[in-house]
Structure 1
Amino acid sequence: MQVFSLTYEYKLKPTSAQVARFEDWLEQCRRVYNYALAERKDWFKSRSCQINACSLQSEYIIPAETKRPTYASECQTLTAYRKTSGNLQRVQSQVLQQTLRRLEQAFVSMWEQGHGFPRFKKSRTMRSFVFPQVGIDAVRDGAIKLPVIGWIKFRQSRSIPDGAKLKQVRIVRRASGWFAMLTLQWDVSVPDVMPHGEALGVDVGISHLAAVSNGKLFPNPRPFNSLERKLRLLQQRVSRKVKGSNNRKKAQVKVSKLHERIANTRKNYYWLVAHNLCDWAGMIFVEDLKLKGLVRGFLGKHCLDAGWGQFFQVLEQCCRKRGVLFLKVDSKKTSQICPNCLVETGKKQLSERIHSCQHCRYTADRDVAAAQVVLIRGLAAVGHTVKMLSEGKAIALPAMKESPSL
């Protein structure tokens, strides 16, 4: 059982004064982030060399009894410094504290998930800030009330469901404007989805974004590949402009808008595919891929353009909203096993697009056959009895079909 929460995104319509305040707050958050990061970095460097040796380039003389900077200690320092700084007094205190919490999360990701050491934020690279608390009835007809800032109009593209509580608001700056991310929560417990209905296995690839065990093939839109030439031309124009000039800033905005267009095209297509899959099944199984290793190969650019990780996230969200069971299964040798007789057929070359088993003569599209193997593993994971097709035909696996169009 878990509490149900969703994030609704709306485009803001701020005034020029409100935009100027947003820009100032982002700059102050960036400076607080960099100052706190520098404090932590100096502490780590002061402990990186031996006690009887000093660095030839620089020395970080910090007393031995000084404890490692943490989120709590930096919040105390921020509170004391904010009393003497007029710039920080213009920013809501909880917004600055959430900036320090973001830095703390970056270090946790470095320690637990193997991410790199956090880096300093350059100018205009801080793109969002968070209000962890808002007032009661903060959202009315096409407007939201933020602490210190006041009422801001937004384009209410969809209504907020009744009974939802507004937990936090994130203000995001993008190339196309300012957006508000409203985190809504319901005081209801949503039970976990139980296995039910028809089951589908999904295999992702480059030639086709997704191959389904029922024979359906979803084409890969390749949004970056189709707009790569235009992006290269826009980036060349940026490099030829004088640094710091208005023309360079205008050219950079065009590059940012094109990147946003690519991302929106990709994400919109993911949601179309996810809803199609949820219309067909009550259980969806996908491969548990090691994406970091895949993007390091010679097809890394095409793997990143396909965006399998984001597709799995969107599919999981869609399944959760529509009551469909979503489960990841082992991806080992899914393309080397025959789904009909479960005999390992050996490794295939990338040019081999048809699966043909020499043992049982079963023939299907290579990606569809891999999706059928994923389906068998998923059914076994949820406790269903799986028989080979040649014995009892417990699973009806169709032959290869034509690719549908969305």
Structure 2
Amino acid sequence: MRTAHQYRLRLTKLQQATIDQWLQLARRQYNYRLAERFNWYEENRCDINACPLICHLPKLKDRPDFYSQKRDLVNSKKLFPEYKNLPSHTLQDVIARVEKTFDRWIKGDGNGKRSGKPRFKGLGRFRSIAFPDPIKPEHLMGRFIQLPKIGKLKMILHRPLPDGFKIKTTAITKKVDSYYITLSLQDSSVPLITPDSPTMENTIGIDVGLKLFLVDDAGGEIAIPQHYRKSEQRLKRLQRSLSRKKKGSIRRQKAIKRVAKAHLKVNNQRKDFHYKTANLLLQQGKNVAHEKLNIKGLAKSGLAKSVNDAGWGQFLQILSIKAERAGLLTIGVNPNGTSQECSHCGQKVKKDLSVRWHSCSCGCELDRDQNAAKNIKYRAVGHSVLNSLGNVLELSGSHQEASALSVLR
């Protein structure tokens, strides 16, 4: 199984200066290769609805691709000798990034969804460099790891590396507080477990929200911490202080770092909460069903600040990765009508977002979010509420029986 471990680096001043120089050289190379593709695109494209009847067709240039730009790195090293200090495969990874972001704009991803037009990286906007080659076992010596053309780097091992692993790729990331190294491992100690098919017994349903972070089908609740909301006043104060500083001054650079550190703290708090919540859910040893939410659409609505503060997308991604390691499944279901349908009899009970209690004519009375979590669980396992109406008919009172029979019709 592929897994990633990130460790903080304790570097010398010379190593920090070297990494900073490499980041700037990689940024310049990224912008240059992206500009090559933009120039080719503008010179060779022709809109079919705006093409003149008589026009001079110039000789079409070859389209820049990964291999042609990779071969051109030899010329870049001749013109700019400082590029010889970078590992060759690190420079090739920069071109691979350009290839990926440009193709996402022109062609789209595997689902055909196109991304926005790529932007050039400004000063300080290129924050990571990759070392795609596998690391040999002899290059990992306790707390030290040896990388090409930079030597031994000291890591802070806050957790041990698993036994029997292989380091496939390595990346160094510069954050506002320090430098970090990410090791992509092929971990053979984690067995490949085939998850069981979801059933009513081995699956739980969760409904995420803004009032509570999530509610499961048994009624368990986890409060939403609102890390950004709690830090909002301090962030506003730091941002006002930044706006008063003169551009290009040393004081402005210090103010930018203070703002960045405050945002980094909020991000770390949120991520820590997501990991702990995912562990709490998976300790039950059951598959987890959730809604397939349009998080990007919600993040552009009037609830944008609260949605971003909750971080549903990051949480579901963490939950999916940790479930795979535990041999469990995360199942996304269609969210339409999960709050409106009764989890007991299946009929729709219309209610506004402000109505937080589900009350049905069949006698079902429970919290709105718990009702939605039950419906999510039923959809994940393919369970139909109509199949369980035999239990509904056992309820006392003729009103419940008539309601169940009306659903059958």
Same fold (TM over 0.5): yes
- After superposition, the Cα gap between the structure-2 partners of 1:189 and 1:42, relative to the gap in structure 1 and judged at 3 Å, is farther
Distance 1:311 1:388 in 2: 33
Give the counterpart of 1:364 among 366, 386, 392: 366
Aligned residues: 379
Matched position secondary structure for 1:352: coil
Is 1:130 matched with 2:133? no
Distance 1:360 1:12 in 2: 61
Counting only pairs closer than 5 Å after superposition, residues 7-406 of structure 1 correspond to structure 2 as: 7-48=4-45, 52=52, 63-110=58-105, 111-112=108-109, 113-137=113-137, 138-186=139-187, 190-195=192-197, 198-346=202-350, 348-357=351-360, 359-380=361-382, 390-392=389-391
Greater RCO (CA < 8 Å, at least 6 residues apart): 1
C-alpha contact (below 8 Å) 2:162/2:187 kept by paired residues: no
Distance 1:100 1:239 in 2: 36
Distance 1:320 1:341 in 2: 34
C-alpha contact (below 8 Å) 1:43/1:62 kept by paired residues: no
Shift of 1:135: 3.9
Distance 2:24 2:302 in 1: 39
Distance 1:108 1:223 in 2: 36
Shift of 1:83: 3.0
Distance 2:363 2:391 in 1: 17
- After superposition, the Cα gap between the structure-2 partners of 1:158 and 1:63, relative to the gap in structure 1 and judged at 3 Å, is farther
Shift of 1:199: 1.5
C-alpha contact (below 8 Å) 2:193/2:327 kept by paired residues: no
Matched position secondary structure for 1:121: coil
Distance 2:89 2:270 in 1: 34
Per-residue CA deviations over 1:12-66 (Å, capped at 9, x if unaligned) read 001000000000000000000000111111111123456659xxxxxxx995321
Matched position secondary structure for 1:280: coil
Per-residue CA deviations over 1:269-301 (Å, capped at 9, x if unaligned) read 111111111112421101111222222221122
Distance 1:388 1:199 in 2: 18
Matched position secondary structure for 2:72: helix
Shift of 1:324: 2.0
Shift of 1:109: 2.6
Shift of 1:168: 0.6
Which structure shows the bigger proportion of residues in helix conformation? Answer: 2
Distance 2:8 2:389 in 1: 56
Shift of 1:338: 0.5
**Deviates further, 99-108 or 20-29:** 99-108
Counterpart in the other structure of 2:400: none
C-alpha contact (below 8 Å) 2:192/2:327 kept by paired residues: no
Paired letter, 1:126: F
Distance 1:160 1:190 in 2: 19
Distance 2:97 2:241 in 1: 34
Shift of 1:379: 1.2
C-alpha contact (below 8 Å) 2:291/2:333 kept by paired residues: yes
Distance 2:298 2:176 in 1: 30
C-alpha contact (below 8 Å) 1:6/1:185 kept by paired residues: yes
Shift of 1:84: 3.2
- After superposition, the Cα gap between the structure-2 partners of 1:62 and 1:34, relative to the gap in structure 1 and judged at 3 Å, is farther
Per-residue CA deviations over 1:50-90 (Å, capped at 9, x if unaligned) read 6659xxxxxxx995321221111111112222133212111
Paired letter, 1:133: D
- After superposition, the Cα gap between the structure-2 partners of 1:260 and 1:18, relative to the gap in structure 1 and judged at 3 Å, is same
Shift of 1:186: 3.5
Distance 2:20 2:57 in 1: 35
Question: If you compute each CA radius of gyration, which structure gives the higher value, 1 or 2?
Answer: 2
Distance 2:134 2:192 in 1: 25
- After superposition, the Cα gap between the structure-2 partners of 1:366 and 1:388, relative to the gap in structure 1 and judged at 3 Å, is farther
- After superposition, the Cα gap between the structure-2 partners of 1:135 and 1:296, relative to the gap in structure 1 and judged at 3 Å, is closer
Identity among equivalent positions (%) equals: 33
Matched position secondary structure for 1:391: helix
Shift of 1:253: 0.7
Distance 2:356 2:135 in 1: 58
C-alpha contact (below 8 Å) 2:378/2:384 kept by paired residues: no
Distance 1:117 1:46 in 2: 17
